[in-house]
Each structure stands twice: as C-alpha cells, then as structure tokens.
Amino acid sequence: MDATDRVREMTETSTETGSNYILDALEREGISTLFGLVGEGNAHLVDRTNDHALQFTYARHEQAAVTMADAYARMTGTVGVCTLTHGPGLTNGATGIAAADRDNVPLVVLVGDTGFAGRETSLQYLDHQSFTSPISAYQTRIETSETVPEAIRRAFGEARTERGPAVVEIPGDIQSAPAPETLYRPKPTPSQRPRPDQTTVEEAVSVLEDADAPVVLAGGGAMTADAAEPIVELAERIGAPIAVTYFAKGLFPEDHPLYSGIAGTFMSPANDELLWDADAVVTVGAQLSGKVTRYGELYADAAVVQIDIDPSAVGRYRDPTVALLGDASAAIEALVDRVSVDSNRVTRVATAIEEAENAFEFEPASTDEYVDPRVATREIAARVPDDTVVTIDSGNNTGFPAAFHPVGDGGRMLVNGNFGTMGFALPAALGAQVGTPDQTVLCYAGDGSLLQVVQEIETAVRLELPIIVVVLNDESYGIIRHRQRLEYGRETAADYSSSDFATVARGFGARGETIRSIDDLDILEEYCESEPSVPLVLDVRTNPDIARPGFPPY
C-alpha cells in the first residue's frame, strides 16, 4: 500500500465526505448549477458532483466561469456559485470576482486549496484571503470539518446581504475528510421587506414637494427588487421622467410616455433635454457614478433622495440629501402614499419626451466594405424577439446596443458597468442562457474583447447553448484608438488585422457568418425560427471611423 492509498483509507472511511456535505449544502440553499473549472485544488469537490443532482457546468477559463455565475445570478435572482482551484486558478478568476463585486452581484466562490501539510511551500501557494480582500464582500478559510456548516451558511448570508462575492477557501483535507455530523440548515431569510424610517420618508417627501423638475433614476437595484410598478406610479404622480442606468434597461416598457431612456455616458436625446435642469433626483438602486452623471456635470445642484437596501451604498459617490434605507418597492410605496399629484407636469414631461423622440439622429455611414454599427445594431434588434436578453462588453462596442437596441417586456441588458471588464459579454451570455433556457440571448462584443475569451465558443457548443454572438468588428481597440486620435493626434498599438471570426466559430463547431451588409443580417430571423442547438457567431465588419454615442468626451 503506497502513501496515496494510506491517505485515502484514513480520510475516506465514509463515502460521505466534506465535498459531499458542501454540495448537499448548496442544494439546500436552492442551488442547482455549479459553475467552475476543475484543477488540482478542487478536483475532489468536482468529482463528487457525480453523486448529486446539482449540475456542474464548466468553462474553459476561470474568468469566464465566474462571469457565467455572475450572469446566472442576475437572471435568476439567486446566488451564483462557482468553484476554482487554488493559486493561478483564483488569480485567473479574479477579474470576474472584482467585476461582480463592483456590480453588487451575490456570488459564492469555492476555492479548493492544497492540504494543510506543506501548504505554504507548495508550487501554487497563494494567500487567498489577502488576495481577495479588496475585491470581495467576505473571505474565509475552513480550518476544521466541524466549521464547514457555519462557513457555508455565513458565505451565503454575506453574499445575499452584502450583495457581493463571498470567497470560501476549502483545503483538500476538508474536502476528503468524513462529512460533519451536523445537518446543514440554511440561514432563514427575512419574510418582510425592510421599510425605511418614517422620519426620512417625510424628509424625502418634502424634497419632492419643493422640486420643480424632479427625475427618477432606476438602476440595477431597482431591477433586483422588481420595483418597476411602484416607480412608474411615483413618476406618474410627481411628473418625473423615468431615466435608467443600463443596468435597469428592460425594467420599463420603452413606449411608456414618461420613460426617457439611458442617462449618463450614452444619454438619450430625451434625457439630454430634461435632466440638465433637474432640481431633485430620486435614485432607486442606482449610484451617481461618473458614467451616470457625466463625471459630475449632471445633477450638480440637485437635491438627491437615495433609495437603497445596502447601507454601504449610501453616499458612495455623492452624499444624498435624504437616504431611504430599505426595500426599493417598500420605500417608493411610502413616498407614493404621501406626495402630491402634478398632472400638468406629467403632461409637460411626456410632451418633451415625445418631441425628443428618444432616439439618436445620425447620417448612416455604411460602405461596400463596412456596415455602420449604429444601423447594424438597430437592424439586429428588429430581427430578434423583443424579450431577448442582451449582454454587452466593454469598449467602443458598448454604446451601440446601449443606444440602439431597445429591450422589450421580459428582456434584460447585462453589462459590467462599474468595472469595465473586457471579455464579459460572451461568458455572461452563457450564464444567462443556462439560467433562462427559453429566452433568446444575444451577446454584443468587440473584436478585441472577444479575443480575450474566444475559447468560450467551445463552451457554448459543448453545452448546446444557442446564443447569438455579434462581433462589432472595427479591427482595433476602438475606444482607445478614438481617444488616441483625439488626445495625441496619432494611434499606437490599438489597431490590428482582424481575425476571421466566422471561420474561428466554425472551427469550434458553431455556426459562423461574416456580415458586410444589412441584407446579410436576414440570417438572424432564419436562425431564431430554427430552434438551434449551436451558437451563431456574426462577424459584423463595422466602419472603424464611427465612435460610440457620447464620444467625445465620454
């Protein structure tokens, strides 16, 4: 009997191991899908998924695995869970963890580690807790089998309450040791929605009663709270335009007379008409970050009523006049019960939005070789279902779907708006499709961002996920090139010869097509009607001279 056999005999005297216990705990927390990538540190945990109903869904890179869990959490309203191996497995996944942390997405990240003996001298040693402390809401290391239940329970509690990633380090000895004898019980979740303090509600009402040009700004927190109905009711009482960050695009019907579109960097014409004169803004699960306020120019002199369930979010970018801590719907309902109706202002705002047409005007600039990305995005939107889930990458490509792809009832727009991660859109589309298998999922990526995660086309093929990947291909790091031209009068290391993404896609087993005219996009309708089982990759060759809406200066 060799040393490996002796260790196995000592640590696996029962078929119920620490790994089995942890996977059972995940199922008791309502988790049905575990994302990740197998490695030496988490191999035991991944092996034991064969004994459980929980589905292990693996990517080809750790950043992608984390992003898949991120998008899955956004779409399903649950905690996203993924597992990574130690050392470089975690460092590869760190960008995805940081992105989820900035966007307040609840994740539990299970990091498999080496055993206790010789840990700090092992090849892939890393102080995981110190490394993840700046990019996650909670970090812990399980030291004994008896503490497994509390560690997992605490991680889920922190992910839910802090709205961010909780990182749990699980040594190999804990994974293979006999399971704890204590039955795992999830932490009870509050049945009542937390309501704001009545004094602050009255202060907020006073702010709104004194306002001549109020605005309601909905963000990702409003989407999470499903607060569309009370927000509309509040806007219809006080006569406020309903502006959104792109985290909340899809929350409201875009044909509602008070819906004014995206605010900030990619600001709609209607908001450009209305928001500069705002003297009060009600933020609902939204942050007044630089992108949302055009770097402090919007709402500079306005009173701010901030509604958020997370105390740490209050005043993150700007101190509010009044802060309402609590559930978004409960807070807004409290305001609706007290504010006065201003029907004249409702009419005035609705007329201003209608006259602005809530649409960007431009002269189409397609050529025989290239498609205008603004036209292409509009035409793509017209060829897919209204409730399509749209994921967007960072870069020059970001602004085109934000401005030109409307999201209908039931649709969503997923974007890493607070960290600007390149390589977000493709794995986010995969996670969204796993979470919502009956909806069309469309990913917009630039050629530069797609090349950072192009291997995940194989993941889509292997999992038979019929996502649509639209590559807005300007043969460069587009927004960097545009900024270089503007600031330095020349370009450096930002452009390159394009890859043939249609051929690359076919090499992975996907369907790939090159798009050089609007007529070429007709393939979308045929694809959507065919009940496909493989992804479609459209290499849309776009005019490289067209910068995204809002540039310059944003």
Q: pLDDT of the chain along its 554 residues, tens only?
A: 343 343 344 344 346 999 999 999 999 999 999 999 999 999 999 999 999 999 999 999 999 999 999 999 999 999 999 999 999 999 999 999 999 999 999 999 999 998 777 777 777 888 899 999 999 999 999 999 999 999 999 999 999 988 899 999 999 999 999 999 999 999 887 666 788 889 999 999 999 999 999 999 999 889 888 899 999 999 999 999 999 998 888 899 888 999 999 998 888 889 988 999 999 999 999 989 888 888 888 999 999 999 998 888 899 889 999 999 999 999 999 999 899 999 999 999 999 999 886 567 888 999 999 999 999 999 999 999 999 999 999 999 999 999 999 998 889 999 998 888 999 999 999 999 999 999 999 999 999 999 999 999 999 999 999 999 999 999 999 999 999 999 999 999 999 888 899 999 999 999 999 999 999 999 999 999 998 999 999 999 999 999 998 787 76
- Sort 393 into a burial class: Cβ within 10 Å, 0-12 / 13-18 / 19+: buried
Q: Are 472 and 542 in contact (CB under 8 A)?
A: yes
464 φ/ψ angles, rounded to the nearest 5 degrees? 55, 50
- Sort 178 into a burial class: Cβ within 10 Å, 0-12 / 13-18 / 19+: middle
Residues 546, 365: Cα–Cα separation, whole Å: 8
Residues 163, 140: Cα–Cα separation, whole Å: 17
Name, in order, each residue with C-beta under 8 angstroms of 516's C-beta and a sequence gap of 6 or more.
368, 369, 370, 371, 541
Helix (H, G, I), strand (E, B) or coil at 123: coil
User: What is the per-residue pLDDT for 9?
Assistant: 44
Residues 285, 216: Cα–Cα separation, whole Å: 11
* Residue found under tokens 């942890």: 22
Q: Read out DSSP for 395-430?
A: SGGGHHHHHH----TT-EEEE-TTT--TT-HHHHHH
Instruction: Measure Cα distances from 348 to 255, 279, 341, 360, 418 in Å.
Output: 17, 16, 14, 21, 33
Residues 9, 431: Cα–Cα separation, whole Å: 38
Give the end-to-end CA distance of the chain in Å, rounded to a whole number: 67
* Residue found under tokens 């575990």: 34
Q: How big, in percent rounded to 5, are the helix, strand and coil portions of the chain?
A: 45, 15, 40
Sign of CA dihedral 218, 223, 228, 231: negative
Residues 280, 543: Cα–Cα separation, whole Å: 40
Helix (H, G, I), strand (E, B) or coil at 495: strand
* Residue found under tokens 């749990």: 168
Residues 79, 225: Cα–Cα separation, whole Å: 15
Q: 14-176: what CATH class?
A: alpha beta
Residues 111, 82: Cα–Cα separation, whole Å: 9
Fold of 373-541: Rossmann fold (3.40.50)
Name, in order, each residue with C-beta under 8 angstroms of 112's C-beta and a sequence gap of 6 or more.
39, 40, 41, 42, 43, 44, 45, 83, 84, 85, 86, 170, 172, 175
Q: Are 263 and 292 in contact (CB under 8 A)?
A: yes
Residues 505, 230: Cα–Cα separation, whole Å: 44
Same fold flag, 14-176 and 373-541: yes
- Note the pTM of the prediction, 2 decimals: 0.92
Domain positions in the chain: 14-176, 198-356, 373-541
Task: Note the CATH architecture for domain 198-356.
Answer: 3-Layer(aba) Sandwich (3.40)
